[in-house]
Structure 1
Amino acid sequence: MKILIEGEKYSLNTLLEVFDDPKFFIQEGMFGTINCVGYYHSFSKNELIYILPKVFIIEEKAFELSPQQLFDLDLKISFKHDVNYAWVRQLLIYFYNSLAEFRNRYRNTVIIESSQSFELNSNLGLTEYSYLDLVLSFVNFYKKNKNTILYHHIEFISNQAKKAKWEKTIRTSLPILISNNSPLYIDIRNKQKKVNDEEELLSYFFSILNHFKIEHDLPVTIDKSYKLIRGSQFEKLQRTGLTKLRKIKHRYFADTLKRMYQLCELYFSKTDLSSPKRKNEEFISVRNYNIVFEDMIDKLFTDKIYDSKSINGISIDKLKNNKDGKIIDHIFEHKSIIDTDNIFYIGDSKYYKSDGVAGKLSTYKQFTYAKNVIQFNIDLLNKSKAYDNIRYRDDITEGYNISPNFFIYGHLNDEKNFDEPLLKKYKTVKKSFHFKDRIFDRDTLFVLQYRINFLFVLKSYTSINFNKINSFRNDTKNHFRNKFLKYFNSVDNCGFEFYEKDFENDAIDIFVNKNFRLLNGKAIKIKENTLLIAIHKEDRQKELLDNLIKDFETKLLG
Structure 2
Amino acid sequence: MKILIEGETYTLKELRKTFADSKFYHEDGSGAGTIISVGYYHSYEKGELVYMLPKVFMADSANTVFGINKNVLFNIDIKETFKHKAEYNWIRQTSVYFYNSLLEFKRRNKQSGILQSSLSATLNTNINEQEYSFLDLLLTFVNFYKKNKNQILFKHIEYKSQQVKNPNWEKTIRKSVPLLTQDKQPIYNIYRNKKKVLNNEEELLIYFFSILNHFNKEHNLFLTIDKSYTLIKGRKFELLQKIGLSKLRKIKYRYFDDTLRKMYHLCEIYFSQTNTSSIKKKKEEFISVNNYNLVFEDMIDKLFSDPIIEKKTEDGTTLKHLKYNDDGKIIDHIFDYQSLLDTSDIFYIGDSKYYKSDNTAGKVSKYKQFTYAKNVIQYNIDLLNETGNYYTENLRYRDKITEGYNITPNFFIYGYVNNYKNFETSELDEKGDIVKSFHFADRLFDRDTLFVHQYKINFLYVLKAYSQFGNMTIEKFRKEIKNKFRNNFIEFFSNKKSEFEFYEYEKKDFETFVEKHFRKINGKTFITKDEKLILAKHKEDESLKEILNDFKEYELQ
For the aligned pair, the TM-score class normalised by the smaller chain equals: over 0.9
Counterpart among 105, 108, 114 of residue 105 in structure 1: 108
Question: Deviation at 1:181?
Answer: 11
Question: Deviation at 1:557?
Answer: 1.1
Counterpart among 165, 168, 176 of residue 165 in structure 1: 168
**Corresponding residue for residue 238 of structure 2:** 235
Counterpart among 452, 455, 467 of residue 462 in structure 1: 467
| 1:315/1:376 CA distance change after superposition, 3 Å | closer
Using the TM superposition, name which of 100-109 and 382-391 deviates more. Answer: 100-109
Given the alignment of the two structures, is residue 36 of structure 1 paired with residue 37 of structure 2, yes or no?
yes
Match runs of 1:255-270 below 5 Å: 255-270=258-273
Given the alignment of the two structures, is residue 205 of structure 1 paired with residue 208 of structure 2, yes or no?
yes
Question: Deviation at 1:160?
Answer: 2.8
Match runs of 1:281-300 below 5 Å: 281-300=284-303
Counterpart among 371, 379, 385 of residue 389 in structure 2: 385
Give per-residue Cα distances to partners, 1:262-298, cap 9 Å, x unaligned: 0001111111122111100010000110000011111
| 1:271/1:327 CA distance change after superposition, 3 Å | closer
1:86 and 1:496 map into 2 onto residues whose CA distance is: 51
Q: Aligned residues, how many? A: 550
Question: Deviation at 1:15?
Answer: 0.3
Match runs of 1:476-495 below 5 Å: 476-491=481-496, 493-495=497-499
1:437 and 1:458 map into 2 onto residues whose CA distance is: 42
**Corresponding residue for residue 451 of structure 1:** 456
**Corresponding residue for residue 555 of structure 2:** 556
**Corresponding residue for residue 155 of structure 2:** 152
Question: Deviation at 1:453?
Answer: 0.2
Question: Deviation at 1:28?
Answer: 0.9
Counterpart among 391, 412, 416 of residue 411 in structure 1: 416
1:15 and 1:177 map into 2 onto residues whose CA distance is: 61
AA paired with 1:2? K
Question: Deviation at 1:56?
Answer: 0.6
Match runs of 1:14-93 below 5 Å: 14-29=14-29, 30-60=31-61, 61-62=63-64, 63-74=66-77, 77-93=80-96
| 1:525/1:109 CA distance change after superposition, 3 Å | closer
Using the TM superposition, name which of 93-102 and 82-91 deviates more. Answer: 82-91
Given the alignment of the two structures, is residue 339 of structure 1 paired with residue 342 of structure 2, yes or no?
yes
| 1:177/1:221 CA distance change after superposition, 3 Å | farther
Q: Which portions of structure 1, spanning 4 or more consecutive aligned residues, are displaced by more than 4 angstroms?
A: 108-118, 173-187, 308-316, 321-327
Q: Is the 8 A contact 1:501 1:531 kept in 2?
A: yes
2:180 and 2:365 map into 1 onto residues whose CA distance is: 67
Q: TM-score, normalised by structure 2?
A: 0.93
Q: Secondary structure at the match of 1:410?
A: strand
Q: Secondary structure at the match of 2:528?
A: strand
Given the alignment of the two structures, is residue 522 of structure 1 paired with residue 521 of structure 2, yes or no?
no
Counterpart among 216, 219, 225 of residue 228 in structure 2: 225
Question: Deviation at 1:322?
Answer: 7.9
Question: Deviation at 1:221?
Answer: 1.5
Using the TM superposition, name which of 406-415 and 457-466 deviates more. Answer: 457-466
Given the alignment of the two structures, is residue 13 of structure 1 paired with residue 13 of structure 2, yes or no?
yes
1:231 and 1:117 map into 2 onto residues whose CA distance is: 41
Match runs of 1:186-205 below 5 Å: 187-205=190-208
Give per-residue Cα distances to partners, 1:85-109, cap 9 Å, x unaligned: 2211111110111111111222356
Counterpart among 512, 515, 526 of residue 513 in structure 1: 515
1:538 and 1:36 map into 2 onto residues whose CA distance is: 51
Give per-residue Cα distances to partners, 1:526-552, cap 9 Å, x unaligned: 14542100111112xx1x412211231
**Corresponding residue for residue 546 of structure 1:** 545
Q: Is the 8 A contact 1:503 1:530 kept in 2?
A: no
Counterpart among 273, 276, 285 of residue 273 in structure 1: 276
AA paired with 2:414? Y
Q: Which runs of 5+ in 1 are unaligned?
A: none
Q: Secondary structure at the match of 2:356?
A: coil
**Corresponding residue for residue 501 of structure 1:** 505
**Corresponding residue for residue 2 of structure 2:** 2
1:457 and 1:406 map into 2 onto residues whose CA distance is: 17
Q: Which runs of 5+ in 2 are unaligned?
A: none
Q: Is the 8 A contact 2:319 2:376 kept in 1?
A: no
2:117 and 2:403 map into 1 onto residues whose CA distance is: 35
1:395 and 1:181 map into 2 onto residues whose CA distance is: 93
Q: Is the 8 A contact 2:344 2:529 kept in 1?
A: no
1:154 and 1:219 map into 2 onto residues whose CA distance is: 24
Indicate the RMSD between aligned Cα atoms, in angstroms: 2.7
| 1:86/1:193 CA distance change after superposition, 3 Å | closer
Question: Deviation at 1:378?
Answer: 0.8
Q: TM-score, normalised by structure 1?
A: 0.93
